[in-house]
Amino acid sequence: MKEMDPELRGDDRWQLIERITASACFQKSAKLRDLLCYLAERTLHGQPQDLTEHRIGEAVFGKDEDYSVVEDSSARVHIRQLRLKLHEYFDGEGRDETWIVEIPKGAYTTLFRPVEQRASATPAPVETGQQPKSWARLLPWVLAALLLVTTLIAWLRQPPLAPPIPPPWPLAALFDPPNRPVEVVVADVNYGMMRLIDEQPVTLERYLSPAYRSGEDLSNPHPTGREARMMRYLSSSLLTSYADLVVVQTLMQLSGNSRDWLAIRSARELRPRDLEAGNLVLVGSPSSNPWVFHFQHKLNFQEREGVVGESLKYFQNLHPKAGEQETYHGLVFTGSSGEDYATISLLPLANGRGTVLILQGLQQEGTEAAGLFLAYADNRQKLQQALGISSTRGQPVYFEALIRTQAVAGAPNATSIVATRLIHP
């Protein structure tokens, strides 16, 4: 770990972290001490971009830059152990602390909260020299018996537990086999803005290059001071869109009892190795989530764009059927009103060791509409009918569907199915 910022040592919260790491329950685990210090330091310095599973693996556990969090869960395992150790500290050696440190489930930030005022100590009984009456001695036992009977009656009368709710089709394919992480990869808005500044299309290979991400590999070798500051911000921060948040919320609701296995990641954190095995959801089109490029050759409806930032984006229908158009143009820009298009695609990984669901819209309204479309059972039934699927049991059915939504001032509604294709692995 690097040398601590001297200003941080005067912070009461950091002094609490030092007391925790010096306690007996942390003495046998140097990794947990390093992990707690890293999380607390980044939280107190306001650096949330460093509080991702991948970045923690690199900084604390010495993982390679391209390591896969799907295959290597050491960061998640240590986070769980750290939560248990913190409980152990505050239940024992740190029970008199005025602040409590927590790592909320599903996040890697360090939460500092004040301890609720403890109840005042019970005053000692006054000696009177008289023996307590027999009923006073029996009262605690009577109350305990009444509590036991009441609890037993309540337990017998409670309704049976509802069976676990499985995710509906087509999400069910992502949770088979069960109890495996499903990586939801949200769009990289920084990348989308860098494309507009550079006014150049970007391949997946270029997106992955350190020179492009740092802003060095741009068409303008001599940016103005304002442009340089903007590029530094875009290359060092993680941003996504409101549409992606809506899609993530929808996926969590649809996942039912399997929602704990959803892991949210930015497109910037993904590595090619992550596509070798596992189940993924890619949110956004290639112009905001370049990982869709990896699967685009398998799709009939592919996003196209002329001059970046100046031309309308559209879906190219590579093999039109009767009554279908060759192209489907979307909104001029996000926030305007009119028609936008999106595709919902379910594909196998190239080696058959996983499944990927792609929800991509030409604009954010289309992406949001794709997620909301799957939220309703009647929409899922219409999609099955359009694909000619009578049953979703057995082997997964891979497909792509083009949908249209009518957007009003940035809000999608009135979504319908335009065309579908079955995909044969």
What's the pLDDT band for 308 if we cut at 50, 70, 90?
confident
Are the beta carbons of 322 and 393 closer than 8 angstroms? no
d(CA 363, CA 278): 28
What's the pLDDT band for 408 if we cut at 50, 70, 90?
confident
d(CA 412, CA 271): 32
| Confidence (pLDDT) at 357 | 97
d(CA 202, CA 405): 27
Quick check: bond before 177 cis, omega within 30?
yes
Section 385-406 average pLDDT:
86
| Confidence (pLDDT) at 126 | 41
> What are the φ and ψ backbone dihedral angles of 168, each rounded to 5 degrees?
-80, 165
74-88, 311-325, 363-377: segment of lowest average pLDDT: 74-88
- Measured from the Cβ of residue 8, the count of other Cβ atoms closer than 10 Å reads 15
What's the pLDDT band for 151 if we cut at 50, 70, 90?
low
| Confidence (pLDDT) at 139 | 60
Sequence-distant contacts of 157-164: CB under 8 A, at least 24 apart: 164/256, 164/257
> pLDDT tens-digit profile of 199-208?
778 888 888 8
| Confidence (pLDDT) at 194 | 80
> pLDDT tens-digit profile of 278-293?
899 999 999 999 999 9
d(CA 313, CA 331): 8
> Given a cut of 50, is residue 127 above it in pLDDT?
no
> Given a cut of 90, is residue 386 above it in pLDDT?
yes
> Given a cut of 60, is residue 117 above it in pLDDT?
no
Section 360-383 average pLDDT:
93
| Confidence (pLDDT) at 368 | 93
> Given a cut of 50, is residue 34 above it in pLDDT?
yes
